[in-house]
Amino acid sequence: MMDFAKFHGLGNDFIVVAQRAEAWTPARVRAICDRHLGVGADGVLLLEQWGEDRLRMIVFNQDGSRPQMCGNGVRCAAAYAQHHWDMGGRLIVESDAGPRACEITPGEHPGSWEVNVAMGPARIGERHALEVEGHTFAYTPVDMGNPHAVIFNFPGDRLVDLAGEAANAGHPDFAEGVNLEFVEARGDEWRTSVYERGVGRTRACGTGACAVAAAIWDRGLAPPDTPVVVALPGGRLTIETRQGQIWMQGPAQKVFTGTYPNLRSNEDA
Ligand SMILES: N[C@H](CCC[C@H](N)C(=O)O)C(=O)O
């Protein structure tokens, strides 16, 4: 049997396992993430301790694909490492997208933490347009280690899903797929709906919130020296930019721990 912990960041939920990624196949990820036949989650975080203040995090999306980076996942990984491995309040989380510095403090509730993460620089591409069912969505491409397309329009849930499916079905603009963020200003916040590569609609996306803030500053919709509050279905993330880095501040919550068989009959081929 394998031990795991269930964590989430604003409802973007993960199965956290202290294991090397080499032991995992896409089929095993899909089986454990299945919300009816498995534990159920948006993804899996495989963690290894790499030193006193350093750990490695490998991310798998619910469909078994392996993205470069996951912002809510970094917060959950850092909280797991402090809680389960008694690591300190300042950690480096190594991912396929490189190192991310984290500052962890206790949260308001038992089993919750507040984590501030240096998410690296945002790389903004040439603005483009995505055509879906006769609708044209102008987007700002933003690379946060993983690919995002930020659209300043909320066309309703049906079109969000159609656009997300179209953009991740071998679309020529998105060779490796893409995470889509649909944004609209709501007072002094930015309401955002996310369609995630390899998952679909999620309640929150950490790298997506960073991409939204970067696109807002790039379009001059807010001064770059002011924080951006991204209001996702699962809650709010505050995004700032300092010394060329994007900083994301938000919660991580431990939900439960459990055990899972080392091999399941429902692991598809
Ligand atoms: N689905 C994303 C990875 C997870 C990102 C999201 N959960 C986050 O918090 O950043 C991708 O394939 O790039």
The first and second tokens of residue 221, run together, are 């919709």
Distance CA(173)–CA(235), nearest Å, equals: 30
Q: What is the pLDDT along the chain (269 residues), one digit of tens a residue?
A: 899 999 999 999 999 999 998 889 999 999 999 999 999 999 999 999 999 999 999 999 999 999 999 999 999 999 999 999 999 999 999 999 999 999 999 999 999 999 999 999 999 999 999 999 899 999 999 999 999 999 999 999 999 999 999 999 999 999 999 999 999 999 999 999 999 999 999 999 999 999 999 999 999 999 988 999 999 999 999 999 998 899 999 999 999 999 998 865 555 54
Classify burial at 37, counting beta carbons within 10 Å of its beta carbon; exposed 0-12, middle 13-18, buried 19 or more. middle
User: From ligand 1's centre to the CA of 18, what distance in Å?
Assistant: 20
Check the annotation: does 12 bind a ligand: yes
Distance CA(145)–CA(160), nearest Å, equals: 23
Q: Is the ipTM of this complex over 0.85?
A: yes
102 is catalytic: no
Distance CA(107)–CA(242), nearest Å, equals: 24
| 2-119+251-260 and 123-243 in the same fold | yes
Residue nearest atom 4 in ligand 1 by C-alpha distance: 70
- CATH homologous superfamily of 2-119+251-260 equals Diaminopimelate Epimerase; Chain A, domain 1 (3.10.310.10)
For CA atoms 22, 25, 26, 28, the dihedral sign is: negative
- The H-assigned helical ranges of 85-195 are 157-167
Residue nearest atom 3 in ligand 1 by C-alpha distance: 70
User: From ligand 1's centre to the CA of 117, what distance in Å?
Assistant: 15
Assigned CATH topology for domain 123-243: Diaminopimelate Epimerase; Chain A, domain 1 (3.10.310)
- Which protein residues touch ligand 1 with a CB less than 6 Å away? 12, 61, 67, 70-73, 146, 179, 196-199, 205-208
CB atoms within 10 A of CB 173: 14
Check the annotation: does 179 bind a ligand: yes
Residue 149 to residues 8, 38, 128, 198, Cα–Cα distance (Å):
23, 31, 9, 15
Active-site residue, from 33, 76, 102, 205: 205
Q: How many helices (H) and strands (E) does the chain have?
A: 4, 17
Q: Where are the domains of the chain?
A: 2-119+251-260, 123-243
What's the pLDDT score for residue 124?
97
What's the pLDDT score for residue 227?
96
